[in-house]
Chain A
Amino acid sequence: MDMMIKQKIKQVKKGDQAAFEDVVSFYQNKVYQICYRMLGNTHEAEDIAQEAFIRAYVNIHTFDERRKFSTWLYRIATNLSIDRIRKKKPDYFLDAEVKGTDGLDMYSQLPAEQALPEEEVESLELQSYIQQEIMALPPKYRGVIALRYLDELSLLEISEILDIPMGTVKTRIHRGREALRKRLRHV
């Protein structure tokens, strides 16, 4: 797979536009998912994901072939998504809900028996509910959560994609997961 992509990138760099089609086809779901997780809207996700591939194509000569192509591509996609979120004016008030670890002892309403998540998530309704809860997180947490559960990317890879230190990635994943735990607890 990696070899195939490497080969295709070489061809694209030489000006073979058709080779890029295989690259897009290979990564389209991943890139779209990153954008959707961050933007929460199918039209915007499609728009930004397309833009990410076009940017990648136009700037392909700046891609260092010794590095991992997906890291570079995902970085373009996350940066474009963040730009779009900034333009939309995010809901800053939601930050307050995430910070701090209060409320950890509110277990009273937890149902005694819980169905298996796999079964639950089969319903599309729950899928969009989960996305809705992700959207309630501040964008910086959304990004790391999206990447962490996109291909089980390692924290190191996420730190490279987002260009932030490992420690920051760790903190954001921990906090993001805590916030989602609270939100999804009663589902």
Chain B
Amino acid sequence: MLVNCDKEIVRLMHEYLDGHLAKTEENKLRSHLQSCEACQKHFHELKRTVAMLKSSSDIQAPVNFTANVMEGLPQEKKRVGYMR
């Protein structure tokens, strides 16, 4: 089960998810996944986690955010051409 293959294979999974996996390593990962159901599940869960993170990454700043920032800026730079 996973106990024997986990460390190296899981590392390859993460390298893959970060787009850092070389072709030879990718083949290694693929052929392992074909034969190991536990790792298949693990990989599926990771990809699902990533999909969840991505699809929930559309967080918007509150309305008036920009206006509030502009109001909070120190006043002294308002005149164009003035450098501190």
Residues of A within 8 A of B (CB): 14-17, 20-21, 24-25, 28-29, 31-33, 36-37, 42, 46, 49-50, 53-54, 57-58, 61, 101, 104-105, 107, 110, 114, 117-118, 120-121, 126-127, 130-131, 145, 149-150, 155, 170, 173-174, 177-178, 180-181, 184-185, 187
**In the complex, what residues of A have CB within 8 A of residue B62's CB?**
32, 42, 46
Q: Are B59 and A149 in contact (CB under 8 A)?
A: no
Say yes or no: A187-B66 contact (C-beta < 8 A), given A15-B77, A15-B79: no
Report the nearest B residue to A21, measured CB to CB: B70
Q: A50 to B64, alpha carbons, bound, how many Å?
A: 11
Closest B residue by C-beta to A182: B45
The total of interchain contacts (Cβ-Cβ below 8 angstroms) comes to 129
Q: In chain B between 28 and 84, which residues have their CB closer than 8 angstroms to a CB of chain A?
A: 38, 41-42, 45-46, 48-57, 59-62, 65-66, 68-70, 72-74, 77-84
Known A-B contacts A130-B53, A180-B49; the reply to A32 vs B2 at CB < 8 A is no
Q: Please indicate the chain B residues that have their CB under 8 angstroms from the CB of A37 in the complex.
A: 59
Contact residues in B for A170 (Cβ distance below 8 Å) = 14, 18
Indicate whether A149 sits within 8 Å of B53 (C-beta atoms), given known contacts A57-B73, A101-B7, A178-B10.
Answer: yes
A101 to B15, CA, bound (A): 17
